[in-house]
Amino acid sequence: MRFTALLFDLDGVLVDTAKYHYIAWKALAEELGIPFTLKDNERLKGVSRQRSLDIVLEIGGVDKTPEEREALCTEKNERYLSYIRKMEPEEILPGVREFLTEARRQGYKIALGSASKNARLILDRLELTDLFDAIVDGYMVTQAKPDPEVFALGGRLLGAQPSQCLVFEDSVAGIQAAHAGGMTAVGIGTREDLPEADLVLPGFAGATMEDIEKKLLAISR
Ligand code: BG6
Ligand code: MG
């Protein structure tokens, strides 16, 4: 076993929260008279809440003071939370619970590495918290992905060297963060969207660590 620690992004990897982010950002954008499409929403994936607001405001060519930005972020998050608080374990993406459970049974250490300040609430709602040995969320880091801080901290909390860490990510910035931290990155999505990933999986349904380790070993040879 080459890897001892598995680090998981949350949004888009374990659960599809992008739809709730979209509803909440769109409502805010409409209040501000800014057009906001699903394609625009793609740009917010993996990006911090503050930076997401900057992007929304840029789209509309709207300027706001730091105080106004703070209030807008709070408003967006309140709306987002109204959906998140109602989430059910059925919303876990296919195969995720089985994959985490089996990886734990095999002895891998497991951490969350997420930019979200709502990460703990989401894991609780999905009843996944107990499957994690360590949780790194948006409150614990100062640098956003592609900076490696979130994964470096996760690896340290699991007592693993970067070369022993395998990161699962759905965003380009997250793949870059893993690489910047000296880690291997599995992209969750398509090769077209994640060209820099060491391996790409469409999701966790039917995925096993034996298979992933085997494929990564074949590539590194
Ligand atoms: C990331 C999401 O995981 O978390 C981003 O991909 C989101 O879209 C970011 O903006 C911050 O999330 P939150 O829950 O703290 O607003
Ligand atoms: Mg993500």
Q: Are 197 and 185 in contact (CB under 8 A)?
A: yes
Sign of CA dihedral 83, 84, 85, 89: positive
Taking the C-alpha atoms of residue 57 and residue 35, their distance in angstroms, rounded to an integer, is: 10
- With b for 16 or more beta-carbon neighbours within 10 A and e for fewer, the 39-48 pattern comes to ebbeebbbbb
- Whether residue 60 contacts residue 96, with contact meaning beta carbons closer than 8 Å, is answered with no
* Full-model pTM: 0.95
| Tens-place pLDDT, residues 141-200 | 999 899 999 999 999 999 999 999 999 999 999 999 999 999 999 999 999 999 999 999
- Residue 9 is among the residues annotated as catalytic for this protein: yes
Q: Is 193 a catalytic residue?
A: no
Measured from the Cα of 119, ligand 1's closest atom is 14
Which residues pair with residue 113 across a beta bridge? 136
User: Which numbered ligand comes closest to the C-alpha of 20?
Assistant: 1
Q: What whole-number distance in Å separates Cα of residue 64 and Cα of residue 31?
A: 14
Q: Best of 49, 53, 70 to mutate for ligand 1, by most ligand atoms within 8 A of CB?
A: 49
Distance from residue 212's CA to the centre of ligand 1 (Å) = 27
Question: Among all ligands shown, which has an atom nearest to the Cα of 46?
Answer: 1
Ligand 1 atom 16, closest CA: 49
Regarding the beta carbon of 152 and ligand 1, being less than 6 Å apart is answered no
The model's pLDDT over 25-75, given as tens digits with 9 standing for 90+, comes to 999 999 999 999 999 998 898 889 999 999 999 999 999 999 999 999 999
